Structure 1
Amino acid sequence: MRKKSAGAPYMDLHLSPEDRVGAAPGKPASKPRPARKGSARAERVEPQLGGSDAAFALDAGEPIAPERRGKAKPAKARKGRREKRPLTFGWFVGKLFYWGFVLAVWGGIAIAGVVAYYAVQLPAADSWAVPERPANIRIVAANGQLISNRGQMGGEAVALRELPHYVPAAVLAIEDRRFYEHFGVDPIGILRAFINNTTEGRITGGGSTITQQLAKNLFLTPDQNYGRKIQEALLSLWLERNYTKEDILELYLNRVFFGHNSYGIEAASQTYFGKSARNLSLGEAAILAGSLQAPSRLNPRTNPEASATRARLVLGAMAEEGYISQAEADAAAIDPNKRIRTRVAGAEYYVADWVESLMTAYLGEVKQDVIVSTTIDWDLQKHAEFVVKEMVTAKGSELGFSQGALVAMETDGTVRAIVGGTDYGQSQFNRAVTSRRQPGSAFKPFVWMAAMEKGYTPDTVAEDAPFNYEGWAPENAGGQYRGQVTLRDALAYSLNTIAAKLAIDVTPQAVVEAAMRMGISANLPAVPSIALGTAEVSLLELTAAYAPFANGGQGVIANVITRIETVDGQVLYESIPAGPGEVVSPVVVAEMNDMLHTAVEIGTGKRAQLDGWPMAGKTGTSQKARDAVFVGYTARMVTGVWLGNDDDTATKLAGGSVPVEIWSQFMSKAHEGYAVAELPGMYGAQTQYAQPDLQPMEQAPPQRTTRTIVDLLGEIFGGRQ
């Protein structure tokens, strides 16, 4: 019981345990903690009720305000509810601006984070550098005519100043009209592309600048994703900061893909039009610029109609931008009723492939642009291509063959023409250099040569008749036999039985050794059947192996490269005369020329014609006529021809038919303007024959005597034939 204070009414307030906050009815309150001495709680003064400074106001309907702690100020008395403001346009604009600003800030932060994420995946900026352009191999004929460009790019780089002004203008007009105005990324172009894509309902353009396209080509993979586009933009800014606009445009024109393995404007110009980009016409420049949108689809070789349509669009854009007049655009437009004339990939491309394959052997890795001068006679090359293609077209269907090949070289091994097939565009397989086929009887001269070296002569008599050797019984074509014949006539008429008997007599190993000495590099099995040309060889090596007969006995190495130099004129390689030296004696050469001349005079090669030039050669037809071959030569040139099918199916050919016709047409052209020359040792060859070592010298007649192979085989095999 508290005492009544002066001036205040007395009130006695009793609180039961149930009246405490949180107490349950009927449950005694927990025992209060004793106040600690000196604490604020011990000194607490109970509030006075009803006084002017009362801490609580008891008013029915009003909640008891909680005690405020710390420095918080008491809430102001509420003066009543705030009235709702009407939704006005200004209020809406304000809210829109506010939230737009907020979203823009957060969007900028998000974009910055994404950019930073992909930026850190790139190498450090101070290590960025434009990669070196892969080396180009420019291959030219003996007269400087471009044969082809080889290498990863397909063409050499050209300076911007070397191009006609309308070439880069065409690219800018259709690919990046604001090239000289933007900083590598064109926001206006991106917005325009977005609007156009939205309007068209499909993707009509991506808004990428030339700088962005260059950055992609130089540094990035072609993957289409947002991360790559962000990196592309960053690299574009770097390019614009470190290179001039002209530098960027030149880099772009020399790196961009134009289709058909052509990277750069020079490669594209050579591929499609057979000329340098320095000589492009306005219409051709528009065609190439138009193809950049889809190089594999819009190039003039794959789709000339779409290419022409796109070129007209380019010309219109050029006129709109003021690069050319509308009259010039109309004059250069491609007539939709006329096909675009593009370069046809000719047989010289087989030469280029061969030369490219040799580059590692000559230089190792090619690290800079080089010019390779070859031995190819451009006019003869094109003539050889024409003759082979015409014959295949004219007689292929009738006689069941679809492919042909030709190798022509001078007697020292200098290659003048190579035809590896009838259509390089359809098949790049080189049937003259890479393919290995059975030469048939065209291999027999090496058998006869081995026999001459053993002591036989062209007048040695042998018997053409069936025989069996350890279960092998070779037969002549047609199944006919001539009886007693000289080796000269046996080679001229290509008698298989005589060839087999000679090979057995001199031994197959001696035949293999003779062929390899002459230039055959294929793996030849030392078996009797090799005499019939069953071992596979390339036309190139077979032709080169005949060269010693034409030059007097000197071995040759087929050579097509004369000089390799850089574009600045530094000589990296220059050929010098080289070879294995004498591989067959002049006496044997004379004997072989005597017999092989007979083969084209009265034998299987008698269709060969060459306007008075002394010539020699041998035909060959493999089993089931799958291959038809003729290799013939004069004192000036050796040429080999092959006809057949890639799938090795039978034909109706013979080596003395169409191959000889092709040989005659080509060789007639090749000998125009040259003085007639005799074959080594051909005339008077009989007086040059070495004395045989077949009987005592005192019994030897003034000239070489002969004996039959039947006699020799009787001595070797005990009379077995």
Structure 2
Amino acid sequence: MAKKKTTKSKTDTLDFSKYVRWFWIVFLGGILAVVFIFLLASWGALGEMPDPSRLANPETNLASEIISSDGETLGKFYFDDNRTPIGYEDLPKNLVDALIATEDVRHFDHSGIDGRGTLRAFVYLGRKGGASTISQQLARQLFIGFRDKESTTNAIIQKIQEWVLAIRLERQYTKEEIIAMYFNIYDFGNNGDGIRSASRIYFGKEPRDLETKESAMLVGMFKNSSLYNPRPHKNPVGVRNRRNVVLDQMAKYGYITEAVRDSLQQTELDLNYSPESHREGIATYFREYLRGFMKEWAKDDSNRKPNGDKYDLYTDGLKIYTTIDSRMQQYAEDAVGKHMPRLQAEFDNQNTPERNKTAPFLDLSTSEIDKLLKDGMRRGERWRIMKNLGKSDKEIEASFYEPTDMKVFKWIDGEAGEVDTIMKPIDSMRYYKSFLRPGMMSMDPHTGHVKAWVGGMNYRHFQYDMVKQGKRQVGSTFKPFVYATAIDQLQLSPCDVFPRTPITIEANKFGNPEPWTTKNSDGNYSGEQSLKDALASSTNTITARLMNEVGPQPVVEMAKKLGVTSDILPVPAIALGTADISVYEMVAAYATFANKGVYNKPVMVTRIEDKNGTILYQFVPESKDVLSEEVAYVTVNLMEGVTRAGSGARLRHNSEWLKKSAMYKEVMTGYPYELSNPIAGKTGTTQNQSDGWFMGMVPNLVTGVWVGAEDRAAHFKSITYGQGASMALPIWGLYMKACYADETLNVSQEEFEKPIDLTIDIDCTAKDEGDITDEADSNENIEFDF
């Protein structure tokens, strides 16, 4: 019996060892199978996997960034991805805490796969949360995307690929770099590609300035940026609830106290929704100019990537450093936004159907207006698009007379806006031609750096840039070129006196085919005036006498040396400003006077860097001597008379001339500039009041402003409102007042520097300040009808 028991015990032992052996076979086989599956995944057998080298440089499209001289982002160039990466050091602690608490609380403890979280997800089948780590989610965003998960097999394969890539990412990057990459890669919706764009779009601030509740809202979007989109009126309740879940998580893991959580959960979202698009935001016209500049730069064969490819403005993440000052740009746009609706209101008041049957046009017959509009049809975008679709001219023209749903620009309570309406395209053309438009540029004369650029009042609806593209008659703002030529060639002094009597330049003299006789707009031809008084009052006959002395060709040559590139016909009439010149050219020319006779070519871009910070372009200043320092200073001194005793005196608050003028009330109530520092300038008004100009300068800032309608036939009826002093000067005054209020800008309030060896007498006293006028406007009462 004992022997039998022994045999049985041995049999049991053999049977048990067999189970142990099979256990190890299965266990080790399972491990090997898992390892083999991971190897297959890494080899790409389960689906395409990225090359290991891509882990070091993940391929993402990066927007090119436009940076102001004071370090602010003016805008971006992009197609689909408005992404500008930032480093971990630029992420606020509350944002990182919100992410860790909500998405991966053990991020700093695992190696890409959270074993505890994976086991929990497996046991509870995901009911108590998933197990995807930040590294896995980053891997999915960068290299895998969101494939069809309806198939269990697909879901398993994707999870395996995520694990493999997550481990690789953990080996390649630090934990902090992974967090930064995850924030940079995520699409927050509404062109909010990456945390920097999202922060600016939803809250109007840089990520480093985000508050805890704002960080919580953005982290909440990682669950589903479409469902939890905070765009106004989309899903405010759901977004707020999701934000509060993140705040709960932050309190749960000790990142904030329960008291802070409770307080923040009661707050509103407090969005500052600021879409980043090519047609919205600050400096839109300048950004469009810059787009053209960059395209030309990229075409240059000397500007290539190391592999020889062209740089792509929309995907290569270039950084474009500009001279624009974001503060001055904002002040310029604010000045335009304040003055233009007031001026437009008066223009509309004068162009009601009862007051003007051909509104907004004057001096045109019905047939001429029809021709004007039909010519405009063929130049428009609608015609071009329909022509490309194969439509006939007759079909296209007929479409202009069919009522269409559209959004049109409108000043609403003094603010730029748009309204939905039904209008015939032909009527919308006439409607848009009724708007007065501005052009404005501001520049540092010593460096050539352009500080502000306003090509219009609303880029979405008025895309033609009136700074560089638009060229209009400059009127009396051309006169300083005549005076400078005369002073340079004839050694004249501001105190030299000339008669106001009419002068006729004979036919064939200077190539003029007919006799040319000038008139003074005020009708006054008696007495004499010094050059200083003559420029201040913009006396046409004295300017014509100077032209008769020096001839038009030297004046044209002077303008060209000052930087004017537009064609100027060398005829006597240019003395009164018949030439079409851009604001851009005029500002550069006037800046030469302020810069002691040295011309600096305007600079808009200082350097361009690639995404790694390598400098690809650095500007080289272009300057040349045009005038002697003495002649430049004397010309400036003459223009100071315009703001002391001419139409520019309305910039002052204590001018005796101004107090005698009916304009005084308008200045002191509507536009209290109260500027008392030295200012040189010149107003300009063209025939029929079609164009209003003001060129103004202080020692370190020159600014030019033009205002007018698209067509010269749309204009004010009288000089009262249709002069540079009413149309353009107020924008300059509002802008400069804002610049002076911002002491960080250091805009000069000093005297223009006088040459040490000045030999020309400039200390002559105006003889009749109380009677000085500019284009016969000072005795007319101007009150804007709001």
Fold shared by both chains (TM-score > 0.5):
yes
Q: What is the alpha-carbon distance in structure 1 between the residues aligned to residue 541 and residue 140 of structure 2?
A: 69
Q: Say which is worse superposed, 352-361 or 628-637, in terms of deviation.
A: 352-361
Q: Tell me which structure has the larger Cα radius of gyration.
A: 1
Partner of 1:158: 86
Partner of 2:386: none
SS in 1 for 2:446: coil
Amino acid at match of 2:443: M
- 1:481-525, Cα deviation, whole Å (9 max, x unpaired): 637765655543445676678668756554433222112234555
Partner of 1:446: 481
Partner of 1:312: 241
Structure 2: 5+ residue stretches without partners:
1-40, 306-310, 349-434, 653-673, 764-786
Partner of 2:562: 518
Amino acid at match of 1:409: M
1:406 Cα shift?
3.7
Partner of 1:239: 165
Partner of 2:646: 603
Amino acid at match of 1:436: G
1:150-549 paired onto structure 2 within 5 Å: 150-152=76-78, 154=82, 156-160=84-88, 163-164=91-92, 166-168=94-96, 170=98, 218=142, 236=162, 239-244=165-170, 246=175, 249-290=179-220, 300=230, 302-303=231-232, 306-307=235-236, 309-317=238-246, 319=248, 322=252, 328-333=260-265, 335-336=267-268, 339-342=270-273, 347=282, 361=297, 364=303, 380-399=328-347, 403-415=437-449, 417-420=451-454, 431=465, 433-438=467-472, 439-455=474-490, 457=492, 459-461=497-499, 463-464=501-502, 470=513, 480=523, 482=525, 491-494=535-538, 509-524=553-568, 530-549=574-593
Go from structure 1 to structure 2 and tell me whether the alpha carbon gap of 1:294 and 1:433 turns closer, same or farther (over 3 Å shift). Answer: farther
Go from structure 1 to structure 2 and tell me whether the alpha carbon gap of 1:483 and 1:162 turns closer, same or farther (over 3 Å shift). Answer: closer
Contact kept? 2:477, 2:577, Cα under 8 Å: yes
1:54-93 paired onto structure 2 within 5 Å: none
SS in 1 for 2:725: coil
Residue 635 of structure 2 corresponds to residue 592 of structure 1? yes
- 1:363-392, Cα deviation, whole Å (9 max, x unpaired): 946878776665555654544444333333
Partner of 2:658: none
Amino acid at match of 1:331: S
> Higher helix share goes to which structure?
2
SS in 2 for 1:656: helix
Q: Say which is worse superposed, 645-654 or 540-549, in terms of deviation.
A: 645-654
Q: What is the alpha-carbon distance in structure 2 between the residues aligned to residue 433 and residue 299 of structure 1?
A: 38
Q: What is the alpha-carbon distance in structure 2 between the residues aligned to residue 496 and residue 296 of structure 1?
A: 66
Aligned residue pair count: 566
Select the residue among 684, 694, 697 that pairs with 1:630. Answer: 694
Go from structure 1 to structure 2 and tell me whether the alpha carbon gap of 1:489 and 1:164 turns closer, same or farther (over 3 Å shift). Answer: closer
Select the residue among 606, 610, 616 that pairs with 2:680. Answer: 616
Amino acid at match of 1:445: P
Q: What is the alpha-carbon distance in structure 1 between the residues aligned to residue 138 and residue 66 of structure 2?
A: 28
Q: What is the alpha-carbon distance in structure 1 between the residues aligned to residue 51 and residue 271 of structure 2?
A: 45
TM-score by length of 1: 0.60
Contact kept? 2:685, 2:724, Cα under 8 Å: yes
1:48-127 paired onto structure 2 within 5 Å: none
Select the residue among 546, 559, 583 that pairs with 2:603. Answer: 559
Contact kept? 1:346, 1:423, Cα under 8 Å: no
1:655 Cα shift?
0.9
Select the residue among 709, 715, 719 that pairs with 1:650. Answer: 715
Percentage identity across aligned positions? Answer: 27
Contact kept? 1:620, 1:629, Cα under 8 Å: yes
Contact kept? 1:291, 1:307, Cα under 8 Å: no
Structure 1: 5+ residue stretches without partners:
1-114, 196-205, 690-721
Amino acid at match of 2:263: A
Contact kept? 2:456, 2:463, Cα under 8 Å: no
Contact kept? 1:463, 1:483, Cα under 8 Å: yes
SS in 1 for 2:648: coil
Amino acid at match of 1:412: H
1:549 Cα shift?
1.4
Go from structure 1 to structure 2 and tell me whether the alpha carbon gap of 1:293 and 1:391 turns closer, same or farther (over 3 Å shift). Answer: farther
Residue 673 of structure 2 corresponds to residue 639 of structure 1? no
Go from structure 1 to structure 2 and tell me whether the alpha carbon gap of 1:537 and 1:233 turns closer, same or farther (over 3 Å shift). Answer: farther
Contact kept? 2:219, 2:246, Cα under 8 Å: no
SS in 2 for 1:555: strand
Q: What is the alpha-carbon distance in structure 2 between the residues aligned to residue 635 and residue 162 of structure 1?
A: 39
Go from structure 1 to structure 2 and tell me whether the alpha carbon gap of 1:509 and 1:216 turns closer, same or farther (over 3 Å shift). Answer: farther
Go from structure 1 to structure 2 and tell me whether the alpha carbon gap of 1:309 and 1:678 turns closer, same or farther (over 3 Å shift). Answer: same
Q: What is the alpha-carbon distance in structure 2 between the residues aligned to residue 497 and residue 221 of structure 1?
A: 76
Amino acid at match of 2:197: A
